[in-house]
Structure 1
Amino acid sequence: MARLSDQILTAIFSLQRHLLEGINETAATELAIFEQFGETEITIPALEQLQNARQRLTDPCSRL
């Protein structure tokens, strides 16, 4: 098996960190909106968009 260079490993871990930070940020924002305003007609679209964004970040993170 070929050994990955340190530069490639550093890039991979950096990308993974950015994805995890994005996942965490979207989850925290979703929770803050839900706790402050609840699930209403106005907040449902925003909450759904945040869930979709988190899923779009989770998929590549799990592949990494």
Structure 2
Amino acid sequence: MALNINSKQTRIKDGKHKGEDMFVMRVDHYNTIDAEKIIQYASDTYNIPKGVMRASWKHLDRQ
């Protein structure tokens, strides 16, 4: 699992730190998806031949 941590400076609007500038952290979780699952999904959903999808995937992977 991959984590992407974002921080944003913001002014607190209420509470004991009202009016102070602080950083708010947010963690985005995401998992990698197997290329073969994406190729299969596109092939089934959009009737694109798997060979075409694999060639496209490999082309994008090299960039």
TM-score, normalization by structure 1: 0.29
Higher strand share: 2
Larger helix percent: 1
After TM superposition, the score normalised by the length of structure 2 is: 0.29
Larger Rg: 2
Of structures 1 and 2, the one scoring higher in RCO (CA 8 A, sep 6+) is 1
